[in-house]
Structure 1
Amino acid sequence: MSYVTSIGLDVHARSITAVAFDPATGEVRSKRFGYAPAEVAAWTLAFDSPKAVYESGVTGFHLVRALRGLGVDCIVGAVSKMHKPAADKRKKNDRNDAEFLARQLAARNIKEVWIPDEECEAARDLSRVLEDVREDLTRAKHRLTHLLIRHGYAFDEIGPDGKRKGKWTRAHWEWIRSIELSEAAARDALDFYVSEVRHIEAQKKAIEKEIADYARADRWRGRVEALRRLKGIETMTAFSLVAEAGVFSRFESARAFSSWLGLTPSEHSSGERVSRGGIIKAGNTHLRKQLVESSWHYTRATTKRKRDQRGEEVPLAIENHAARGREAPCREAGSLCKAQSSPGGGQRGHRKRALLLGMGCGLHVGRGSRIETR
């Protein structure tokens, strides 16, 4: 849809600052609202052929859905693709931020964010709860371990094979329960940390069960099961991939998918000097973390076909499509590996190539026409 007036919205939890910019006349008008989509829509629609934009971020997609429902042409701009001049950064306020967005929209410099429907966004929320709980569990385990270390206790039991036994196993918990600290306050602290770890472990199991149940729903099951055919990817990661990506067909290539995830290399080249560094990390942080973890499993995976989950049968069409995903997309992903992996590389380079290859395979599997669901 063509538009005449560009509307920039600087959105906060309790306020919205709107700036209207007419590139033909240079006229700029502004107004501040509470968080009131109806009032913003009424003000916006008073202008000639308006189009509105606000930055992606913590405010999410509620406003864009509300404005579209009220007849306003509104988009969300990718904040990671916006670059402000240094002078503008020294004069930051809500009005200036909104005007910057309006002028960028008028200049067609806004990279539009794909808007998920409410069911897809809810699936994202659930998968991110699991991520949060995993982080909470790691921190709780660290606190418990550090308390014991401060009192001179470090788990160092050796198994029959001569190797040190792993932490958070049955043997490790039995060792923790056998510890008797001398001071009552210290014993209370130990009991609290043990209870905290156990409580979060129970939360994690409950959330994983919820996700496993949602993953069997008609909308998600086909793609989740197909992605699970790939080495290094299980149900939790597959569900996150589907929920975060939404519609895989919106990515034209593995390179575009890589850019969305922030896995493309940084670069600082000039003249004849070419210098590329680590990944840019400007993209979907939630999914990038999980794929990096999956890459560790991918490098150690066998060439054997993955077994189905107990009691479940995967439709032949899904298995065949996943097989093509394991075998076919490597041409595109392989070229991506050559372009983005550093020479040599060792274990780090091997893991990076595995991640890029798996990412290309995942894109191929996820956007299969027979299992893609919008």
Structure 2
Amino acid sequence: MSGEGTWVGLDVHARSVVGSAIDEASGEISTRRVGPRTEQIVEWVRNHPGPVMACYEAGPTGFGLARALAAAGIACEVVAPSKLERPAGDKVKTDRRDAERLARLLRIGELPAVRVPTEAEEAARDLVRAREDVRTDLMRARHRLSKLLLRQGLVWDATAWTGAHEQWLRGLRFDRRGVQLAFDEALDAVFTVGARRDRLDAAIVEMAETAALAGPVGRLRCLRGVSTLTAVGLCVEVADWHRFTGATIGSYLGLVPSEASSGARRVQGQITKTGNTHARRLLVEAAWHHRRPLRTSRERARRADGQPAMVRDRAEAGNRRLHQRWTRLDRRKKRPTISAVAVARELAGWCWSLAVLDERTPESTTTPPG
């Protein structure tokens, strides 16, 4: 776009959009409030002298606008808001100034863009995150019920939320009508949310068998602590594993230490916790499984059944390495929570290596005898 074209920055909200356009030929900046409908935005952007390149910040409005602009032949970048730098002396923030600032940064190539997922990837991500929300709802419903019973002096001493526990809950009766009604509502909420979770689990397992996910999900399940739900969650959150390397995947997920170094002074702090929160939680939960000694597991063998020998060997090497990592950290008297994050960072690298592993191994390409 040297010497011609238009750079467009869009400040997108649910009910209003402000666009700022920089004409490369004249240097003129024009700003306009556009309607919130996608068709109106695309039409306004298209009316500028071409070639046109647009951008807007990622947010709750999603990626539909980026796809619509791409379908109209307009290049569009979706920007990561958390990585946009703002001058310390800039104390005025308006939609017009934000749109103009995006257009100027786009023009000089200083915008940190994010990957725009396909519609299928976004649908799979919505399903997995719906299950994540239900998991949180179920935990809260169980806590409310248990605390209600605690106020009545009732505590279940064995393992909670098993068949025996459920039978015990169904048999409880209270003399006071208010307590009985509150208990019935809390118990019904637990069962209702549990049924929602089971339906979503079944849908995710079915989705894991599709062509797009079957390969990487099957390979990731060979690792300890990575079930079908965890593997699907990692695959839909990361989407394209080939964007990263074993050294950069941890940084994308916020599992690397923060740093403030200058000159000869180097200071590292807690992990950055940037990037994808859902994938980071899944990895940290899976990392705890590697604390126990590595033994033969019937469930892990079932998950690895049908995978090429190359995949199984690499997964077992990762399982051994991750347990050894736990052991070394325990010897150094590290807190278990810190050890779990350190192992999760390394687990992310092993997940990456399995996800990008070529499925066409010698075993799978060799013609079976007979």
Q: TM-score range by the shorter chain?
A: 0.7 to 0.9
**Aligned equivalents of 1:145, 1:364: Cα separation in 2:** 43
Identify if the C-alpha distance between structure 1 residues 254 and 70 changes in structure 2 by more than 3 Å, giving closer, same or farther. Answer: same
Where do 1:1-374 residues align within 5 Å?
4-22=5-23, 26-45=27-46, 46-88=48-90, 90-155=91-156, 157=157, 165-251=158-244, 253-300=245-292, 302-304=294-296, 307=299, 314-317=305-308, 319-327=309-317, 345-370=334-359
Match of 1:162 in 2: none
CA distance in 2, matches of 1:325, 1:84: 44
| Partner Cα separation in structure 2 for residue 236 and residue 189 of structure 1 | 33
TM-score normalised according to structure 2 size: 0.86
Q: Any stretches of 5+ residues in structure 2 without a counterpart?
A: 327-331, 361-370
Q: Matched residues in 1 for 2:202 and 2:306: separation?
A: 22
Q: Give 1:183 shift.
A: 1.6
- Could you give the per-residue CA deviations for residues 300-339 of structure 1, whole angstroms, max 9, x where no partner exists? 36243664686x884343x5224325437999x99x99xx
**In the aligned structure 2, how far is the partner of 1:56 from the partner of 1:260?**
16
Quick check: 2:225–2:287 contact (8 Å CA) kept in 1?
Answer: yes
- Relative distance call for 1:360 and 1:322 in structure 2 (3 A) is farther
1:329/1:22 Cα in 2 relative to 1: closer, same or farther (>3 Å)? farther
Look up the equivalent residue of 1:82 and give its one-letter code. L
The residue type paired with residue 285 of structure 2 is: E
CA contact (8 A) 1:227 1:322 kept: no
For 1:301 and 1:137, the matched residues in 2 are separated by 31
Deviation at 1:192, TM superposition (A): 0.3
User: In structure 2, how many angstroms separate the alpha carbons of the residues matched to 1:87 and 1:20?
Assistant: 24
Structure 2 counterpart SS, 1:86 = coil
Deviation at 1:188, TM superposition (A): 0.3
- Aligned partners of 1:330 and 1:360 also within 8 Å: no
The one-letter code matched in structure 2 to 1:201 is G
Which amino acid is 2:81 matched to?
Answer: V
AA of the residue aligned to 1:72: I
Query: Does the 8 Å CA contact 1:19/1:31 hold for their aligned counterparts?
Result: yes
User: Which residue identity does 1:47 align to in structure 2?
Assistant: P
Distance 2:59 2:314 in 1: 36
Q: Is the Cα–Cα contact under 8 Å of residues 329 and 360 in structure 1 kept in the other structure?
A: no
Question: Match of 2:248, SS?
Answer: helix
- Classify 1:106/1:330 alpha carbon distance in 2 versus 1 (closer, same or farther; 3 Å): farther
Q: Which amino acid aligns with 1:315?
A: G
State the Cα distance separating 1:344 from its structure 2 match.
5.3
Q: What's the CA shift for 1:356?
A: 1.8
- Give the aligned residue type for 1:193: A
Name structure 1 gaps, 5 residues minimum.
Answer: 158-164, 338-342
Task: Output one character per residue of 1:203-250: Cα deviation in whole Å (capped at 9) or x when no partner.
Answer: 111110111111111221111110000111000010111111222111
Q: Residues 323-366 of structure 1: CA distance to partner in whole angstroms, max 9, x if unpaired? A: 325437999x99x99xxxxx752423432232122111100011
RMSD: 2.9
Q: Which residue of 1 aligns with 2:364?
A: none
Question: TM-score scaled by structure 1?
Answer: 0.85
Q: Give the distance between the partners of 2:210 and 2:293, measured in 1 at CA.
A: 28
Paired residues, number = 354
- Residue 182 of structure 1: how far off its partner (Å): 3.1
Cα pair 2:219 2:307 within 8 Å, conserved: no
